[in-house]
Amino acid sequence: MSRARHPDKDIEAALQFAEDRGWRLRMADGHAWGRMYCPYNDTDCRCGEFCIVSIWSTPRSGSHHARALRRVVENCSREQ
């Protein structure tokens, strides 16, 4: 089943980047558009601190939020 596209093109590109690296996306209700879940999600991976990341539906700056999402994926300790 395919997921809904994010309305911001920069954030959508960052989400595709995360999905290509195995991160799961779940739609959410409320303020967040959804959440990203690390595929490893174990205690050795930064103590689980960044294993779940909220994706905002209308951030103040879409490009900054997209860059932050991409940075979380790139800096995952298990990816390096």
Q: Which domains does the chain have, with CATH numbers?
A: 9-74 (3.30.920)
Q: What is the pLDDT of residues 9-30, one digit of tens each?
A: 999 999 999 999 999 999 988 8
Question: Taking the model in full, what pTM does it have?
Answer: 0.86
Instruction: Compute the Cα dihedral for 15, 21, 23, 26 and give only its sign.
Output: positive
Q: Give the C-alpha separation, 68 to 75, whole Å.
A: 10
Q: What is the pLDDT of residues 29-67, one digit of tens each?
A: 888 999 999 888 776 666 566 688 999 998 999 999 999
Instruction: Indicate the pLDDT class of residue 1, thresholds 50, 70 and 90.
Output: very low
User: DSSP per residue over 11-74, as a string?
Assistant: HHHHHHHHHHTT-EEEE-SSSEEEEEE-SS--TTTGGGTTSEEEEESS-S-HHHHHHHHHHHHH
